[in-house]
Amino acid sequence: MCGITAYCGNHSALPFLMQGLSKLEYRGYDSAGVTILQNNKLITVKCKGRLKNLEEKVSHYQFDGSIGIGHTRWATHGIPSNLNSHPHNNSLNTISLVHNGIIENYRELKNELIDKGYTFQSDTDSEVVVQLLDYYYNGQLLEATQKVLKRIEGSYALCIISTLEPDKIIVAKKESPLIIGKSKDAFVVASDIPALLEYTKDVYFLDDFEMAMITKNDISFFTHEGKSIQKELTTVPYDTEAAKKDGYDTFMLKEIHEQPYVIHETLRGRIFNQQIILDELKDISFEQFNKIYFVACGTAYHASLCGAQVLERITQLPVLATVASEFRYNDPIIDDKTLTIFVSQSGETADTLAALKLAKQKQATTIAIANVLGSSISREADYVLYTCAGPEIAVASTKAYTTQLVLLILLAYYVAQRLNKEIDYQAIEQLESIPHYVEQILKDENIFQEYALMLKNLHDAYFIGRSLDYASVLEGALKLKEVSYIHADAYVAGELKHGPIALIENGSVVIAVATQPHIATKTISNIQETIARGAKVILFTTSHEDIKNIDNVYYLPQVSPTLQSILVAIPLQLIAYYTACIKGCDVDKPRNLAKSVTVE
């Protein structure tokens, strides 16, 4: 969630550091800072609040140093403050570092260092690392870093500079992303690709327990034990235009409108003569599995709920979707006959990555569904499928969610084909037309803007649905909460009478989804129960039957029920978006949230 930048080259470091931090604002943060190595001194500027505060402070300095590090912090240890901001320096101001992740044993290490006479300026776990570096330094910064890495437990991406060795940057990684770019006249480092793109598309991906020593003209890679290793340079396909708003007011609205294109891209080459083509998985023998797990967090979990239901229906295998943060602590019963599927937009979600590693330890087959080429989860898994959402800048996920749904449905049909199960070929044909249907729904944007007005003055909203529609309303409620700060709950419609209906009163707004024919009439009956208690209802459905007393009904295209989760996501996203706009919320950067959740 924190952001890292670093520069070592032949020009001033500050421009890269600042533009990179700007590109990483979507990750969520509460403070920012930089350290520049200049005239053999470390000059550190940092402050609480938005990046613009830091820009104002650095404008009072004359920076021309060509080595530097930068950071945007999302608080885990210690409140947002100037002192808790990164970078952190040792007391002699000879070593400075930035850190993403969590040092789990920092208290023991801090107490040990205090006993040795060290004093601490912050409440962070990260400061322990720079003080340990000071303790272990004996003429070789790389060697001192290796000693520190043996002592610390937890996750980290580290960038370290020092006046003691002023020509280099030391970087190291474990369970937190770090990417090194190579440009014509510099090496640049960041925690995510968008921060590098204005300078280079040629990158090295560091794996866990790897480190690098960077100078202006050279780079060397090592294991944490000091063994020299080789890394391949990869060219990433993104460009800076993908991170611009293209005339839209916000990134979130732009990304909502990009969904026809990115869905089309995710489908491209995947369907031929009614057959699903997923050659990445051709070496898997699906007959060996007796159980399947989907593991994810947040929006990706809601996509997984849908994917799990579809896969179970058409294969008749036991399939369970579970939250990653619970999976690893519930001692899941998995073995070499278990297929585990891990879904993450960023490919860096800490809980999902930890769950994946647990599954591998238990000999389960692992598949990653990710959006970021070379991300940690995609590298760790046995097999990987990529969505084609492109860079998603807004914190609240939209296009990444729908492309996950598309790919998970493709995966379900692919597994069914490999197992020679009965296939709904009409649904496969309709899947190819989904981008067109999404375009049609987007043309009704003004309708969803009107629905948003119904929520303007409310503190609570209620979402209901059954079967696949329940996964859809969970995501709809999450979107509304994330960007508008309205308390929104999603319920299985049939459970209303078992408690939640007590919350319904005159003027309550209920958003209902009823797209599954075998259960739609039941959901509509539940809707009538809320109307009888004074609720105003917004209904998304495909059924024209038994609709009474509901003023706000939106009819979705008549496609397979299996595909309706993709379509209904669009109006639910737009309702959340316009509600947030009406309330004056920061739609792209909701409070307290981060794009890539790289801590547990």
Q: Compute the average pLDDT of residues 366-393.
A: 90
Residue 599 has pLDDT above 60, yes or no: no
> Domains in the chain, ordered, with CATH?
3-241 (3.60.20.10), 244-439 (3.40.50.10490), 444-587 (3.40.50.10490)
Coil, strand or helix at 506: coil
Amino acid 236: pLDDT: 82
- Model confidence pLDDT, tens digit, residues 455-498: 999 999 999 999 999 999 999 999 999 999 999 999 988 887 88
What is the percent of the chain where pLDDT is above 90? 70
Cβ proximity of 354 and 328 under 8 Å: yes
Q: Supply the DSSP string of 136-172, one letter for each residue.
A: H-SS-HHHHHHHHHHH--B-EEEEEEETTSTT-EEEE
Q: Supply the DSSP string of 364-424, one letter for each residue.
A: -EEEEEESSTT-HHHHHSSEEEE-------SSS-SHHHHHHHHHHHHHHHHHHHHTT----
Amino acid 95: pLDDT: 97
Amino acid 462: pLDDT: 94
Catalytic residue among 168, 254, 399, 595: 595
Instruction: Give the span between the Cα atoms of 514 and 526, in whole angstroms.
Output: 11
- Model confidence pLDDT, tens digit, residues 215-264: 999 999 999 999 999 999 988 876 666 556 777 889 999 999 999 999 99
Cβ proximity of 460 and 508 under 8 Å: yes
List 468's β-bridge partners, or say none.
none
Residue 330 has pLDDT above 80, yes or no: yes
Amino acid 373: pLDDT: 77
Mean pLDDT of the chain: 91
**Nearest residue to 12 via CA among 34, 47, 33, 38:** 38
Amino acid 18: pLDDT: 93
Residue 8 has pLDDT above 70, yes or no: yes
Tell me 125's DSSP state: S
- Model confidence pLDDT, tens digit, residues 155-208: 899 999 999 999 999 999 998 889 999 999 999 999 988 899 889 999 999 999
- Model confidence pLDDT, tens digit, residues 49-76: 888 899 999 898 899 999 999 999 876 6
Catalytic residue among 2, 47, 297, 585: 2
Residue 598 has pLDDT above 60, yes or no: no
Is the four-CA dihedral 558, 564, 567, 570 of positive or negative sign?
positive
pLDDT band of residue 526 (cuts 50, 70, 90) is confident
Q: Is 2 a catalytic site residue?
A: yes
pLDDT band of residue 519 (cuts 50, 70, 90) is confident
Beta strands (DSSP E) in 128-282 are 156-162, 169-174, 179-182, 186-190, 202-205, 210-214, 219-223, 228-229, 234-235, 271-272, 275-276
Q: Is 8 a catalytic site residue?
A: no
Q: Compute the average pLDDT of residues 87-94.
A: 95
Q: Distances from the Cα of 569 to the Cαs of 166, 370, 442, 491, in angstroms?
A: 52, 19, 11, 17
Amino acid 215: pLDDT: 96
Tokens of 69: 């590090």
Amino acid 46: pLDDT: 93
Question: Please, is 329 exposed, middle or buried when counting C-beta atoms within 10 Å of its C-beta (0-12, 13-18, 19+)?
Answer: exposed
pTM above the 0.85 mark?
no
